[in-house]
Amino acid sequence: MSKSHSSLPAIEKQLAELRQEIQHHNYRYYVLDDPIVSDAKYDSLMKTLEQLEAKHPQLITPESPTQRVGAKPLTAFDSVAHAQPMLSLNNAFADDEILAFDKRVSDALRAAGLLGANQEAQYVAEYKFDGLAISLLYEEGRLQRAATRGDGHTGEDVTANVRTIRSIPTELTGDYPPLLEVRGEVFINQADFEALNQAQIQRGEKPFVNPRNAAAGSLRQLDPRITNSRPLRCYVYGWGALQADTTPDTQSAFLEWLQSFQLPVHPGWQVLSGAEALLNYYQQASEQRHELPFEIDGVVYKLNSLQQQEVLGYVSRAPRFAIAHKFPAQEETTQLLDITVQIGRTGAVTPVARLAPVFVGGATVTNATLHNEDEVKRKDVRIGDTVIVRRAGDVIPEVVGPILDLRPADARQFVMPSHCPICDSAIVRLPDEAVSRCTGGLVCAAQRKQGLLHAASRKALDIDGLGEKLVDQLIESGRVKSLADLFTLNIDELAAYERMGKKSASNLVQAIDQARQPPLNRFLFALGIRHVGETMAEVLAAHYGSLEALKQATEDDLLSISDVGPAIAASVEQFFSEAHNLAVIDALAKEGVKPQAIEKPSGAANRPLEGKTFVLTGTLPTLTRDEASQLIIRAGGKVTSSVSRKTSYVVAGEAAGSKLSRAQELGVTVLDEDEMKALLQE
């Protein structure tokens, strides 16, 4: 054995110690702003590491500080599906809104028996950084992937660029868990931003509008070397996917836990009790914001207890247990040139103000939301008015109202169109809803992309390999105009699309073929019917048994089902009354897509779980959660996501978490899979 080979273990140890020491100095400098060595000493350590790795290239690791800029420029970013959605927060601007938030939270906790009559809810208050949201995935302590927020469910893979950010460790220290997905914010300090703009001007290039835009643009460069030249930083404040034997039970302890791995956590957070303390924190942050090295656009309040967070849960795309308290919005005046409508991915029809360009809230604004038809009438906004426009941070600009003294004689009132400007389907407004909607769900081009991605998702038709980039190409080429068109695709034409080869095309066609006979509940969920989510699709499938029976159901028939309310009944009847929706369903049938009928229960004897509420937690031995949920629903039971005193049973499998503990605290009966099956047989 040669001398150089026998010394490799010693060199490996030296390299590991050097990398750890450099990472520690990065943490002291970029996160704590408290360096303990001179720049010359740091440069000397880096040079030693580079020389050693040059002599032993086989010992270079992706996590080495020398490899932060090692990737080649990309042609495009890959899409990344988040293991857990990156949800938004509801916003508040007034003190009264925070008082109302605290009351809602406290009342809900008292109703659940988690807060005494005279107790105040406890929160973590922290800065709301004005940057770009990021998700960092660590496996066995090593940074494997970084992704932007995107639409909350799918983002862009920016791993190579994030590796250039010195405040983000490529390798964790301490007693880290096997898998940890961290959420945070990438930003640029104000002083660094000013220096960056000076350099832009000196090169004859356009300066950035504000630090947030500069950070976002820098992180989304296809060439990591450009990102490396930009002074990006990061702070983390949350988490997503997680695998760990034990975890902290409070938000504050979790932040300390993340910090123990040398992840960048800003120390400005505080644990506070009651609304008054929250408002004081907000006031202090408002007064001190201009002294901070970075920009914040408000503060965030989150319940400190993770158990309490789980009990409160989520509404729509935001948690009930947290809220963003934004600083006052900036306002300017401009002329409203026109009001058009925009069709959202769910068919929502939103009036949009087309404005003479105006600089407000750090950006030039030409469009602003008018929310809905009622808001336009309430504000009495007319085409031709001089209007006040408001914008705060990344909040969508809105029209506050008109300046009546400046209203011209020819100002025109807005009239909601009766038909969609994209697909010419009827625009309807259901009872008790503020939003009008395009009824062309399966044929409207504005809804097509998200509709196809939803239909292909795992809990719908489960068409693996049909990603966002390919859907974009299929739609833009005009090849796929409805869900039925997916089932006419062949290998040769798919292989011709960008980033698709014969193998990928073959796998996708196979996945499409496997989706031709879906369970009825998954088919209904895939159709994207308004108000029909995964659970409601199971309820309808179990009640009607077949698609034909559901298509014939009237609103009154639907209302006879205990779990179906007026909004759901009206939406389902409306969907199956639209000729274009029925045409797509017929086209699917012609392509061999036949949802599998479910044996319809008859009589109470076949619904032994009628009136019982279940919560599933952990991994069951033989059933997936979807399969267990379907069995329970078909037997008349309900499946919910949180445990309360009203829960009848908790079905617990391996690695059951806080839901099991909550059930034991409340005295809720806990079943294993076999005991649940026994109930079904009764």
As assigned by CATH, the class of the 3-67 domain is mainly alpha
* 365 contacts: CB under 8 Å, gap ≥ 6: 334, 355, 357, 358, 359, 389, 391, 397
Mean pLDDT of 139-146: 93
DSSP state of 65: G
Question: How many residues does this entry show for the chain?
Answer: 682
Q: Round to whole Å and give the CA distance between 210 and 394.
A: 12
Tell me which architecture the domain covering 430-600 has in CATH.
Answer: Orthogonal Bundle (1.10)
| Beta strand pairing call for 154-156 and 318-319 | unpaired
> Quick one: pLDDT at residue 602?
53
Tokens 């979790």 -> residue: 254
Catalytic residue IDs: 128
> Quick one: pLDDT at residue 316?
61
Structure confidence by residue, pLDDT tens digits, 437-488: 898 876 788 888 878 888 998 889 999 889 888 988 998 898 998 899 999 9
> Quick one: pLDDT at residue 4?
47
> How is residue 623 written in tokens?
């059933």
Per DSSP, the three-state class of 82 is: coil
For the chain, percent of residues with pLDDT exceeding 70: 92
Q: Where are the domains of the chain?
A: 3-67, 122-326, 331-406, 430-600, 604-681
Q: Are 148 and 132 in contact (CB under 8 A)?
A: yes
> Quick one: pLDDT at residue 29?
62
For the chain, percent of residues with pLDDT exceeding 90: 43
> Quick one: pLDDT at residue 1?
42
Same fold, 122-326 and 430-600: no
> Quick one: pLDDT at residue 274?
95
More confident residue, 256 or 600: 256
Structure confidence by residue, pLDDT tens digits, 297-307: 899 999 999 99
Q: Are 175 and 221 in contact (CB under 8 A)?
A: no
Q: How big, in percent rounded to 5, are the helix, strand and coil portions of the chain?
A: 40, 20, 40
Q: Are 324 and 128 in contact (CB under 8 A)?
A: yes
Q: How far is CA 182 from CA 15, 170, 258, 393, in A?
A: 27, 13, 9, 23
Q: Residue 32 — pLDDT band, cuts 50, 70, 90?
A: low
Q: How far is CA 112 from CA 108, 258, 311, in A?
A: 6, 29, 8
> Quick one: pLDDT at residue 3?
44
Q: Please, what is the average pLDDT of the chain?
A: 86
CATH of domain 331-406: 2.40.50.140
For residue 151, pLDDT over 80 is answered with no
Q: Round to whole Å and give the CA distance between 108 and 114.
A: 9
> Quick one: pLDDT at residue 144?
92
> Quick one: pLDDT at residue 253?
95
Structure confidence by residue, pLDDT tens digits, 255-297: 999 999 999 999 999 999 999 999 999 999 999 988 899 999 8
> Quick one: pLDDT at residue 392?
62
N-term to C-term CA, the chain: 72
Q: Are 330 and 152 in contact (CB under 8 A)?
A: no
More confident residue, 420 or 603: 420
Fold of the domain built from segment(s) 122-326: D-amino Acid Aminotransferase; Chain A, domain 1 (3.30.470)
The correct answer on CATH 3.10.150.10 for the domain covering 604-681 is no
Structure confidence by residue, pLDDT tens digits, 629-665: 878 877 878 887 678 888 899 998 877 777 888 888 8
Q: Round to whole Å and give the CA distance between 283 and 246.
A: 36
> Quick one: pLDDT at residue 376?
93
